[in-house]
Amino acid sequence: MKHTVEGTDSNFSQEVLKSNVPVLVDFWAPWCGPCRMVAPIVDEIAQEFQGKLKVVKLNTDENQEVAIKYGIRSIPTIGIFNNGQVVDGIIGAVPKHMLVSKITPFIHEAS
């Protein structure tokens, strides 16, 4: 079962900015090695925090409008959105515990 949402330029506002739960956005591209390292971690987080956190994966090669709007220059970049605003983020491949520690404060606020 898929726990992540495919983000696009056209659905970003609906899926991320208007979400009623915090959103972790994985900005990635198919050619990016570190992105492939982060992908299984992002999937695990999506499964573990299901219902409390939405996880959106946005391919920056195919959806440049959103990537440009949020100044994504390095990938992978993990953006954390809450109430339609960027509240935190991490650039680069990081261990799972670092991602969890970044999103936990917002999950507690939402629950």
Whole-angstrom Cα distance, residue 43 to residue 99? 12
Question: What's the whole-number mean pLDDT along residues 85-106?
Answer: 95
**Could you tell me the sign of the dihedral formed by the alpha carbons of 17, 19, 21, 27, in that order?**
negative
* 29 inside domain: yes
pLDDT digits (tens, 9 = 90+) for 2-20: 799 999 999 999 999 999 9
Return the amino acid letter for 12.
Answer: F
pLDDT digits (tens, 9 = 90+) for 29-65: 999 999 999 999 999 999 999 999 999 999 999 999 9
* 13 inside domain: no
* 102 inside domain: yes
> Under 8 Å CB-to-CB from 2, ≥6 apart: which residues?
none
* 16 inside domain: no
* 34 inside domain: yes
- The model carries a pTM of 0.94
* 51 inside domain: yes
Q: Give the number of domains in the chain.
A: 1
Q: Does the pLDDT of residue 105 top 70, yes or no?
A: yes
Query: Which CATH number belongs to the domain containing residue 87 in this structure?
Result: 3.40.30.10
Q: Which residue segment(s) compose the domain that 93 sits in?
A: 4-8+21-106
Q: How confident is the model at residue 109 (pLDDT cuts 50, 70, 90)?
A: low
Q: SS3 for 16?
A: helix
* 27 inside domain: yes
* 15 inside domain: no
Torsion of CA 99, 17, 105, 34, to 10 degrees: 10
Tell me which residues are annotated as active site.
32, 35
